[in-house]
Amino acid sequence: MVKAVVLGAAGGIGQPLSLLLKISPLVDELSLFDVVNTPGVAADLSHIASPAVIDGQVAAKGDFKGEQAETEEAKKKALTGADIVIIPAGVPRKPGMTRDDLFKINAGIVKDLVVAIAKYAPKASIAIISNPVNSTVPIAAEVLKEAGVFDPKKLFGVTTLDVVRAETFVAGITGEKDPRKLTIPVVGGHSGNTIVPLFSQAKPSVKIPEDKLDALVNRVQFGGDEVVKAKDGLGSATLSMAYAGFRFTEALLKAAKGEKGIVEPTFVYLPGVEGGDEIQKITGTDFFSVPVELGPSGAEKAINILSGANDYEKKLLDEAVKGLKTNIETGVSFIKNPP
């Protein structure tokens, strides 16, 4: 029996992601939590003729003592028995905002939710979508460490949307009709120039014309801005993100059931994952997104494809590392030296 939980389930990402989980044969039980509207979303999804049993929990409206207890109880009900918890809770970007601008609000939201996971589902895998991922994942790691339940093999920053975009944009250039046939590793972090597509490591190999390379890299790094601009103040990527979040969750669940050879890039704590030390020697950062082989215990092996980067990509990696170090530090100090 597999229980999946979505925290922030009533939002732009949360709703379509919950829909995909509800119809997935890999999920037996689906629990939704949000600060608003979860009962409606759960009631709606419950009419879909699929086996997953669904439950929706909502926080109390206010923050007085009794209401706090009610919210705590809702989190407890949603999380107890969870095998995997996916977090798309928080505010999205508006035009002109960077992902780091979201930190002030989302840092506290992610912290509180991970405190509840540590209490009610300490063994669950945690997939964090809430931005800025480069900082929210370190926040989660610190909270779990403080609670004494940190398992680095089970904490993931979801960077799959960057991979999905890279596959789509490259297919548009090479003429591949089905972008899913391409494996384009994207490494580093999940914002602007911390996102590094490694086209030299693509499988099957791809030839990007030199005059298109800069624009392609830029489009992978800032593809999210296209959506933010097009939505004109109504948020950022939700549908493509729900697809990407589901693709990553499916990979985790298939690997947990023993399927072999499942590899997805994801933002992990390098010192805690096999193979991570070697990568850390190159990046000098505690966290980095690299292709990770997934298995029953979670992140089984971080695969070092950075050594194969060409000179052009090495420069991109250097830039990425600079930005990432600051983002990671911001997340860690939010917990260690609370504002």
Selected from 10, 82, 137, 252, the binder of ligand NAI by CB under 6 A is: 10
Closest CA to 55 of 86, 31, 71, 77: 31
Distance of closest approach, residue 236 Cβ to ligand NAI, in angstroms? 5
- Based on the residue annotation, tell me whether 47 is a catalytic residue of this protein: no
- In DSSP notation, 280-297 reads HHHH--SEEEEEEEEETT
Compute how many other C-beta atoms are within 10 angstroms of the C-beta atom of residue 250.
18
Binding segment for ligand NAI (CB under 6 A), chosen from 41-49, 105-113, 250-258, 291-299, is 105-113
* Minimum CB–partner distance for residue 106 and ligand NAI (Å): 5
321 contact partners, CB below 8 Å, separation of at least 6: 188, 283, 284, 285
User: 3-state class of 158 per DSSP?
Assistant: coil
User: Closest residue to ligand NAI, Cβ-based?
Assistant: 11
8 lines the binding site for ligand NAI (CB under 6 A): yes
CA 330 to chain centre: 18
Stretch that binds ligand NAI, among 108-116, 214-222, 258-266, 279-287 (CB under 6 A): 108-116
Binds ligand NAI (CB under 6 A): choice among 18, 22, 34, 169 = 34
Query: Cα separation of 71 and 301, whole Å?
Result: 37
Closest contact distance (angstroms) between CB of 141 and ligand NAI is 16
* Secondary element (H or E) of residue 56: strand 53-58
Q: Taking the complex as a whole, how short is the minimal distance between the CB of residue 105 and ligand NAI, in angstroms?
A: 8
Helix axes 14-22, 38-46, angle to 10 degrees: 30
Q: Where in 110-139 is the site for ligand NAI (CB under 6 A)?
A: 112-113, 129-131, 133
The answer to whether residue 106 forms part of the interface with ligand NAI (CB under 6 A) is: yes
Binding span for ligand NAI by CB under 6 A among 102-110, 172-180, 252-260, 317-325: 102-110
Which of the residues 295 through 334 are near ligand NAI (CB under 6 A)? none
Query: Does the footprint of ligand NAI cover residue 31 (CB under 6 A)?
Result: no
1 burial (CB, 10 Å; 0-12 / 13-18 / 19+) is: exposed
- Helix H, strand E, coil C: the string for 186-216 is EEECCCHHHEEECHHHCECCCCCCHHHHHHH
**Catalytic residue (one of 190, 272, 279, 309):** 190
Piece of the chain touching ligand NAI by CB under 6 A; list 31-39, 48-56, 170-178, 192-200: 31-39
* C-alpha span between 137 and 63 (Å, rounded): 26
Rg (CA), the chain: 19
Site map 225..264 versus ligand NAI, x via CB under 6 A: ----------xxxx--x-----------------------
Residue 92 · residue 232 · CB < 8 Å: no
Residue 59-88 contact track with ligand NAI, rule CB under 6 A, x = bound? -----------------------------x
C-alpha span between 31 and 11 (Å, rounded) = 15
Which residues are near ligand NAI by CB under 6 A?
Answer: 7-8, 10-14, 33-36, 88-93, 102, 106, 109, 112-113, 129-131, 133, 158, 161, 190, 235-238, 241
Give the active site residues.
190
